[in-house]
Amino acid sequence: MTNDLIQATAEHVQSLMQGEPTGHDWWHVYRVWQMAIRIGNATSADITVVQLGALLHDIADWKFHEGDITIGPRQARQWLESCQASREVIDHVCNIVTCVSFQGAGVPDTHITLESKVVQDADRLDAIGAIGIARTFAFGGARGREIYNPDISPRLHGSLRSYQANSSPTINHFHEKLLLLKDRMNTTYAHEIAVQRHQYMTDFIEQFHREWRGEL
C-alpha cells in the first residue's frame, strides 16, 4: 500500500504541475522529493511521510491562490483521504504542507516533527544555488517584475502579509529570502549542502553588480 500510495501521489502531482512556467513545476517537486529522501535517510526520519510531504508540498501554493495559506493543506488532505491513507499519515503530511513555506525574514519557522524539517530543507535547497537562480528569474519574469532597480531597496519582511504583498525586483528576492536560507536550514545534512549553493549565489550577485556598474 505504501509504495502504491507514493507512486499514485507522484503521478497525481505530475499531472497537476507538469509544464508550470514559474519554477514551481513538476520537476521542482521531483527534485525536492529526491532530496527529501536523501535528508530523511540521513536523519532517520519516517521516509513514507517525508516522501508524501515532499510530493504534496506545493500542490496548491498560496502564491498562486491569492495568498490563501490554507488551500495547500486542504487539497493534500482531500487527495490522501481519497487514497484511504491513515488518519495519522494524513495529519502528519498536512502539517508538513502547512509549515513548509518561507513567510518572511522576520517570521520564525515552526515545526513539530522531524519530517517537516526535512521537507522544508529539501524545498529550500531547491531555492538556492544554480537552480535557485534560474527559478527566481523564471518566477520574476512570469510575474512581470523588473530584473533590478537600484532605486528600490530590499526589505526584510516582518510578517507574512508584508511578504505576500511584495512585488519588488527579482534581485531583491536574493536579499529578502534566498541569501538567508543557508542559516535557516533545520538539519546539519542540508546545511552542509547549502553552504556551497549559497556561495554560488553570492558570487553571482557580486558579478551581477560589477557588470551593472560597468566594471567588467
Alpha carbons within 13 A on the beta-carbon side of 213? 6
The CA distance from 124 to 153, in Å, is 23
More confident of the two residues 134 and 159: 134
Q: How does residue 1 score in pLDDT terms, banded at 50, 70 and 90?
A: low
Note every long-range contact of 205-212, with CB atoms under 8 Å and residues 24 or more positions apart, other chains counting: 205/171, 205/174, 205/179, 208/148, 208/171, 212/148, 212/150
- State which of 19-23, 60-64, 87-91, 107-111 shows the largest mean pLDDT: 87-91
pLDDT at 104: 82
Q: What is the pLDDT of residues 149-204, one digit of tens each?
A: 999 999 888 876 777 778 899 999 999 999 999 999 999 999 999 999 999 999 99
**Range in 30-39, 125-134, 135-144 with the lowest mean pLDDT:** 135-144
Q: What is the pLDDT of residue 62?
A: 54
Per DSSP (E only), the strands in 65-129 are none
Domain holding 47: CATH number? 1.10.3210.50
CA–CA distance, 196 with 81 (Å, rounded to integer): 40
Average pLDDT value over all residues in the chain: 92
Give, in degrees to the nearest 5, the angle at Cα 48 between 42 and 50. 55
Give me the pLDDT at residue 107, please.
84
- The reported pLDDT for the residue numbered 119 is 97
User: How far, in Å, CA of 41 to CA of 14, rounded?
Assistant: 24
pLDDT tens per residue, range 14-47: 999 988 888 889 999 999 999 999 999 999 999 9
Is the pLDDT score of 64 beyond 60? no
* 60: number of Cβ within 10 Å: 19
Domain count, the chain: 1
CB atoms within 10 A of CB 98: 16
Q: 175 to each of 86, 140, 179, 215, how far by Cα in Å?
A: 41, 14, 6, 22
What pLDDT does 19 receive? Answer: 86
The residue segments making up the domain with residue 34 are: 2-212
